[in-house]
Structure 1
């Protein structure tokens, strides 16, 4: 019997075991997933927790019922991968052998990597994150108490999970303070290491104009070196004081990846960006946020890449060439406040463009357009996530990006 071992039961790991359990013969394959937490979090929902739009029940479910029957769920922390022995060693001393390994343990925020971020007792008192469940809930209480001043939304460095989420937070904060009748008492600043609002020029121009319209000041090319008290200080010595800092700390992969000699400086696993096979290893794949592919660390990337990976894995274990090629496809709804949102759809080679998705002309979603239908699409995705995506059921969306329905805007657009 051959053994498939998956590390991590987040989005990518859960999809992998649920899809492959249906495709791999049970008498021939033992599938095991290792996960330390008994709770699965709907991470896109973290964005809504600080504003009271979602409650805890909408973003939290127990892990075990999400895993398909016939998959062994092992509770435990990974200490390291012994690649020479085809074994994973857990921190409690257990050893799990594998024939094939999938690393899907994602990334986590690391505020300890920025000098001053955790100093002086300011963490989750005047400095907050919303990329964790506890952080989002703490920020909800802080926003409720906030009576005015300078609120800075800040990105430490890229890559990060869901790179549009900080923009969404800035837009939602603007709407939140307007609803409370105190927007004139709040100065909103968006500090980013990018030269603009987004990584690609057409989307960056569109999103940047939306920040301008909302009187949100952009501090571009801001690479933080340290935090001194209540001031962000960049490597070029620019300073941004704050009353309330909403930061996205450095995102890093799991420490065991470094201990195993499998990662880069951010503990991300270098992989072939089309097959997701770990470089230098013929039996190890890295999926979701855990790898170093040059695209967004978004749930859609996990979804589309797992679709390609599944067929490739079946071919690989049968001794056939992997003919599927992941193209970096990502799409993300961008909440803009007041019940509206944009949608971006792109891949390794094509930047976000205007148009309609997924059906040309009909949509229903509008690309790079601020529209109510996009907002409803984002809200509807939560149901899709729990009931279709995680169980590994087919979704009638192509894994590869299509140019159908898109167009390159004219200069006046």
Structure 2
């Protein structure tokens, strides 16, 4: 009888997993099934560009099944719940899928319904998001008629997918307003629950100075309690107020509702796992990969990519009856668009914050870390082709899964060596 691998979610992590494992697991011995609610695979990093006319909406979405390897069964359905003790998944249409191993790769989604006042009469009138396809398209139309006032970019809470995206949007908004000749008529405000521009001191200081250079006001440590839509004001728990004419918000992000219904998640519906192996802390035949897990790493495509590489090697060891020897270190790297045809790159992991240096080669680069360069911008643009043609099909990408410290320097110029774990 065939062994059954079931993957819930055909996004970045789920698609990479089934494609890589299909090449390793004999079809005569293993069935591989992936479940998702529809056949639309969005290039989510592209949402950032749509509002400014830098990427057309029709360039965002492609077919999920077109990127699945032959021999992978694709089920289009919503998941109702997982019965982990019984190793079954029930779909909302009543079908029951049995598994020997389960991978939850259902991602994370914006939940504007979780903040009072966010959804309502002003939603997609003066309040917008760009983390969804519909939101990015609606915001693109709204920007065409925006000529003056308070333009507020707001993060509800962490974690969010692609935590640098709000900064990127703010930098691009600044550049776009200057191109339109409107910057002097607009107060641009960045509202964050963090104490600074980003989560790590070195990068936060660098990114914060870039906001200052662009005369963008930062409202930090701001935890929104509700939105007063009548007065168009963000109101925090400590009763601070930030008025707006146009609000671009990143709503609270949460994992899939079926995770909560199944009793598998934390308060935000993320699945608790070992942060190095991605294996469930409760069920040894269950894993959560990508944005669906509770690992203390960025919910970004690079984390999905690097962690999938580790997961696949470990999974093959596990089913062979061997100990899992690979350990994910939380490696993430992110290109940050800064406007005017330039970008910045950060590279970090669980233990080490973004530092100065070169990437991926320690001397040759060609990308500079924590510096605005044209090459970093071009790298960001090139990633779309890499995503569709290399990452999703599961082809090898010559980048190490573990972060390297070679060539990286501390702000004082001292070189730091990271021991291999």
State the 1:56 CA deviation.
1.9
- 1:1-45, Cα deviation, whole Å (9 max, x unpaired): 100000000000000000000011111100000011111000000
* 1:300 aligned to which of 299, 302, 316: 302
Match of residue 176 from structure 2? 176
Partner residue, 1:209 = 209
Q: Which residue is equivalent to 1:27?
A: 28
Deviation at 1:57, TM superposition (A): 2.7
1:87 aligns with 88
Q: Which residue of 2 aligns with 1:218?
A: 218
Q: Hey, what's the Cα distance between the residues in 2 that align with 1:11 and 1:84?
A: 27
Q: Mind listing any 5+ residue stretches in structure 1 that lack a counterpart?
A: none
Q: TM-score, normalised by structure 2?
A: 0.97
TM-score scaled by structure 1? 0.99
* 2:419 match: none
Counterpart CA distance in 1 for 2:127 and 2:189 is 14
Q: Which residue of 2 aligns with 1:328?
A: 330
Partner of 1:250: 252
How many Å apart are 1:343 and its aligned residue?
A: 0.1
SS in 1 for 2:403: coil
* Corresponding residue of 1:155: 155
Deviation of 1:111 after TM superposition, in Å, equals: 0.3
Counterpart Cα distance in 2 of 1:35 and 1:258: 17
Distance 2:143 2:355 in 1: 34
The aligned residue for residue 410 of structure 1 is 412
1:288 equivalent to 2:290? Answer yes
- The alpha-carbon deviation at position 187 of structure 1 amounts to 0.5
Secondary structure, counterpart of 2:144 in structure 1: helix
Instruction: For residue 136 of structure 2, give the secondary structure of its aligned residue in structure 1.
Output: helix
2: CA distance, partners of 1:302 / 1:329:
10
Equivalent position of 2:98 in the other structure: 97
CA RMSD of aligned residues (A): 0.9
- Paired position in structure 2 for 1:140: 140
SS at match of 2:337: strand
Alignment correspondent of 2:233: 231
What residue is the counterpart of 1:318 in the other structure? 320
* Pair 1:387 & 2:389 matched: yes
For structure 2, the residue ranges without an aligned partner over 5 or more in a row are 414-421
Whole-Å Cα distance in 1 between the matches of residues 307 and 226 of structure 2?
Answer: 36
Q: How does 1:35-74 map to 2 (within 5 A)?
A: 35-74=36-75
State the Cα distance separating 1:58 from its structure 2 match: 2.0
Please list the CA deviations of residues 263-303 of structure 1 after superposition, one character each: whole Å capped at 9, or x if unmatched: 00000000000000011111000000000000100000000
Write the deviation string for residues 373-410 of structure 1: whole angstroms up to 9, x where unpaired: 00000000000000000000000000000001210012
Q: Distance in 2 between matches of 1:3 and 1:62?
A: 24
- Alpha-carbon distance in 2 for matches of 1:259, 1:103: 14
1:93-149 CA distance string (max 9 Å, x none)? 000000000000001000000011113x10011000000000000000011110110
